[in-house]
Amino acid sequence: MTGSATGGYDLVVVANRLPVDRKEEPGGTTTWAPSPGGLVAALEPIMRGHDGAWVGWEGAPGDASEAFDTQSMHLVPVPLGEEEVEHYYEGMSNATLWPLYHDVIVQPRFHRHWWDSYVRVNWRFAQAVARQAIRGATVWVQDYQLQLVPRMLRDIRPDLRIGFFNHIPFPPYEIYAQLPWRRQVINGLLGADLLGFQRPADAANFQRACRRSGLLTRRGEVLVPDDSGRRRSVHAAAFPISVDAATLEEAARRPEVAERARAIRRELGDPDVVLLGVDRLDYTKGIPHRLKAVSELYDDGRLARPGTVFVQVATPSRERVESYQALRDEVEVTVGRINGVHGLLGKPAVHYLHQSFPRAELAALYLAADVLLVTALRDGMNLVAKEYVASRFDEGGALVLSEFTGASIELAQAYLVNPHDIDGLKNQIVNAVRDAPREKARRMRAMRRRVRQYDVERWAEDFLRALDRLDPDDAEGPATPRLAVAVGGSADSDR
């Protein structure tokens, strides 16, 4: 798609973060580096194929930089002040919505001044999008930080076609209901024409929350009364996100990556078995659970030492949020304890790297690992599992995968686990290590087929095509007064 002469774009992606981070170099110059994370990894290939605009925050508080063009897109920074970073981002997004939407693994915190900031910042994003979009443009809003943007945008730009994709789970109503602003969030989301979720269960949870707010739903649609008394139809469905499988495989096939994978094994002391974990350091990822399982397997002698090593790569994440600091402490104490018992001079039992790695190094790690451990307690999808599968062109390796990831629906041939069941998790790790290579290759082949067929390009195409196909005049006759009243703010009723 092409930016028009007036500077408008007909595809605008809006996400909390731009796909780049601003870095201030000594001497006062500004440089931009690609920013890590699931969302960027997923959307970058799509933007590369379009000439669209991406609206988002540049990752540091203060005034926004000027909009600028990269090879693949027009980037429009949205500013956040220090206090907004604290209240909208670290607070409402990361300490309220994130834990609430992930099964309250840690207790969500509800603060009215965080919510006020969330509303203000969502409005700023909506206005920035409205300035970029040409008449009739498609806008694709990303994720839980911007749930009010669809409604705000529809109010100021009813000509737009609006899609929203939720990268994280949508919780069961019994949990969602804790949110003091549950009605406002539903109302915000329902400004979209199409709402995409990772799993059918997320779409179903959302529809149930709509019913509990007094709205009618039918087969994947929510009927939303508008001011004229007609009902607009908002579609809600699952679009499981994926990875750029071809590019990942291509990277893994490079001779220098294979060489690096061999070097990694050498540096680890040529063990028989390499276990690997790759995550943002987040309490949803179940890192303590896998450390417990591995530690007990070392204790039991079911995983031999020093023949087995575990490499845990944990990207620093949300370091100013308290629960993340507590998790980091817990992980680091546990790693120290395991190494204290099972380490040898120069041969630790767990290699813990609190670092972000370049893509090529990750590819080499994936190739070097006999088993990848994904033990999330709740995860919208988990791209790391799909990246591992996409990289294993040799059909080697084995994937231990939590049932509580969106990925487990598609990757059913993985060694599936309930990470809370430590004995079950230990057994599956042992199976993944000991099963015959033929059995592992059979599983890997089936998973690779799926990841190659349904890659990130397919995901984006499916979503954008579904959005494109919707009839904007898809409204129905007058809504019943009861519905109109319910949306206007009556009490919840489960029907």
- 281 lies in the binding site for ligand ADQ (CB under 6 A): no
Binding track over 74-93 against ligand ADQ, x by CB under 6 A: --------------------
Instruction: Kindly tell me which of 85 and 381 has the beta carbon lying closer to ligand ADQ.
Output: 381
Instruction: Kindly tell me which of 279 and 370 has the beta carbon lying closer to ligand ADQ.
Output: 279
- 261 lies in the binding site for ligand ADQ (CB under 6 A): no
3-class SS string, the chain: CCCCCCCCEEEEEEEEECCEEEEECCCCCEEEEECCCHHHHHHHHHHHCCCEEEEEECCCCECCCCCEECCCEEEEECCECHHHHHHHHHHHHHHHHHHHHCCCCCCCCCCHHHHHHHHHHHHHHHHHHHHHEEEEEEEEEECHHHCCHHHHHHHHCCCCEEEEECCCCCCCHHHHCCCCCHHHHHHHHCCCCEEEECCHHHHHHHHHHHHHCCCEEECCEEEEECCCCEEEEEEEEECCCCCCHHHHHHHHHCHHHHHHHHHHHHHCCCCCEEEEEEEECCHHHCHHHHHHHHHHHHHHCCCCCCCEEEEEEEECCCCCCHHHHHHHHHHHHHHHHHHHHHCECCECCEEEECCCCCHHHHHHHHHHCCEEEECCCCECCCHHHHHHHHHCCCCCCEEEEECCECHHHHCCCCEEECCCCHHHHHHHHHHHHHCCHHHHHHHHHHHHHHHHHCCHHHHHHHHHHHHHHCCCCCEEEECCHHHHHHHHHCCCCCC
**How far is residue 244's CA from residue 237's CA, in Å, rounded to a whole number?**
22
Footprint on residues 186-245 left by ligand ADQ (CB under 6 A): 241
- 247 lies in the binding site for ligand ADQ (CB under 6 A): no
**How far is residue 196's CA from residue 169's CA, in Å, rounded to a whole number?**
11
Q: Is 11 exposed, middle or buried (0-12, 13-18, 19+ CB in 10 A)?
A: buried
Single residue of 8, 34, 36, 306 touching ligand ADQ by CB under 6 A: 36
Output the smallest distance, CB 432 to ligand ADQ, in A. 19
**How far is residue 462's CA from residue 464's CA, in Å, rounded to a whole number?**
6
Single residue of 11, 42, 141, 175 touching ligand ADQ by CB under 6 A: 42
Footprint on residues 435-464 left by ligand ADQ (CB under 6 A): none
Single residue of 129, 141, 278, 321 touching ligand ADQ by CB under 6 A: 278
- 379 lies in the binding site for ligand ADQ (CB under 6 A): yes
Binding track over 141-170 against ligand ADQ, x by CB under 6 A: --------------------------xx--
Instruction: Kindly tell me which of 10 and 90 has the beta carbon lying closer to ligand ADQ.
Output: 90
Single residue of 382, 391, 402, 413 touching ligand ADQ by CB under 6 A: 382
Single residue of 22, 183, 231, 280 touching ligand ADQ by CB under 6 A: 280
- 18 lies in the binding site for ligand ADQ (CB under 6 A): no
Residue least distant from ligand ADQ (Cβ)? 38
Instruction: Kindly tell me which of 16 and 382 has the beta carbon lying closer to ligand ADQ.
Output: 382
Choices 38-46, 59-67, 175-183, 294-302; region in contact with ligand ADQ by CB under 6 A? 38-46
Instruction: Kindly tell me which of 150 and 225 has the beta carbon lying closer to ligand ADQ.
Output: 150
Closest CA to 312 of 337, 342, 290: 290
Output the smallest distance, CB 54 to ligand ADQ, in A. 16
Binding track over 309-348 against ligand ADQ, x by CB under 6 A: ----x-x---------------------------------
- 110 lies in the binding site for ligand ADQ (CB under 6 A): no
Single residue of 37, 271, 288, 424 touching ligand ADQ by CB under 6 A: 37
Choices 44-52, 229-237, 272-280, 296-304; region in contact with ligand ADQ by CB under 6 A? 272-280
- 381 lies in the binding site for ligand ADQ (CB under 6 A): yes
For ligand ADQ, how many residues bind (rule: CB under 6 A)? 24
Output the smallest distance, CB 30 to ligand ADQ, in A. 23
- 179 lies in the binding site for ligand ADQ (CB under 6 A): no
State the residues that interact with ligand ADQ by CB under 6 A.
Answer: 36-39, 41-42, 167-168, 241, 278-280, 313, 315, 356-357, 362, 379-384, 387
